[in-house]
Amino acid sequence: MKIIDLTQLFTKEMPIFPGDEKPSLKDEYDPQDDVTHYSVITGMHVGTHMDGPLHMVKGGKKLSEITPEQFVANGHVIDVRGKSEIDATVLNGKNITEGDCVLFYTDFGKDFRNANYFENYPVLTEDLARKLVELKVKFVGTDTAGPDNAPYTVHRILLSKEILILENLTNLESLLHASQFEVIALPAKFDADVAPVRVIAKLDN
């Protein structure tokens, strides 16, 4: 068995979506007791995180209301490098079935700590989002700041059907030649619309 980490490292220096609050990650070492402990202050939409329905759907579920079974799925990674708009044709020939997850490899993840990461990133089209709804996948993910831009129609199409969204993934290139893998994406159990998540892929070979 091989495990591949698809999660960006959370640091106080990491970039944030324009307008979001910069995270604080502090080492509060106590020399008197020789104890190290960290404190964190952050918005939820930073680093590798999962969007739940409430994020864009009025009355939608919080992530804490989603059953854990929704966070584990057989995975498919689709190489969409060079595309500015990712449409439903990228699913042609892919054997995606109900309950799977789909990850889109754009190669933007390599720029995660650069200022241009939030500029002109590739987006999913509405027809692709609707096709993913038809396929009844559990969640989708991308190595960009998100699957779309304002007014976030793709977000709403997916989340309205409780298809969860992973943002700011990394290492997707490691899965390009994997014939089969399982994705485990466990968000912290916050009483909120979204949460930081540790995402791994588990390969049998």
Q: All domains of the chain, ordered by start, with CATH?
A: 2-7+44-203 (3.50.30.50)
Say what the pTM is. 0.95
Q: Which residues contact 151 (CB under 8 A, 6 or more apart)?
A: none
What whole-number distance in Å separates Cα of residue 174 and Cα of residue 186? Answer: 20
pLDDT greater than 70 at residue 205: no
Residue 17's pLDDT band, with cuts at 50, 70 and 90, is: confident
What does DSSP say about strands 49-51 and 194-203: parallel, antiparallel, or unpaired? antiparallel
- Of all residues in the chain, the percent with pLDDT exceeding 70 is 100
